[in-house]
Amino acid sequence: GGGMTVEDVEIAACCKACKTRVPTTATEYYYDINSKDYYFDSYAHFGIHEDMIKDEVRTNTYRQAIQDNPHLFKGKTVLDVGSGLGILSLFAAKAGAARVIGIEGSTIAELGKQIIKDNNMTEVVTIIKGQVEEIELPDGIEKVDIIISEWMGYCLLFESMLS
């Protein structure tokens, strides 16, 4: 289909406020949705991830939620959907996860891999570039115990929604 819903308009307005290029008309939206990579490309810029990490309320809330519940993570296999730079993956590993698989659709996955390496967590954390519905889990893993995801994107940062 090519229709634009109310939700699409709200998302476009939010992202416009975030100064991210988004479709501004129904026609432009129609053409953009034919580009499967558009959404993921919008997250390929380091500055977006830097803004999210520098939001101390946001980052510390995620860290606290994961690290204050080690009983949920200890010895488990965790899937981090939309892992970005791998911050939540690192938190899960530090909380005791046996294995963490981060899936990231944008090219920022390469930087995420380097961050995991720099933190000496490659034995536990694997970052895969791809879309969750298209990738195959590594090392014969068929199921995961926990799915984590930073699902809010970065638009709330610019409105101080998490303060």
The catalytic residue positions are 150, 159
Q: How far is residue 77 from each of residues 7, 38, 58, 142, measured CA to CA in Å?
A: 33, 30, 24, 10
What are the tokens at 61? Answer: 């809330």
Length of the chain measured in residues: 163
What are the tokens at 136? Answer: 């195959």
Query: For residue 158, what is the DSSP state?
Result: G
Q: Categorise residue 59: left if φ over 0, alpha if ψ from -120 to 50, beta otherwise.
A: alpha
Q: In sequence order, which residues have a C-beta less than 8 Å from that of residue 88 and are 6 or more positions away?
A: 62, 66, 80, 102, 148, 149, 150
What are the tokens at 13? Answer: 């307005």
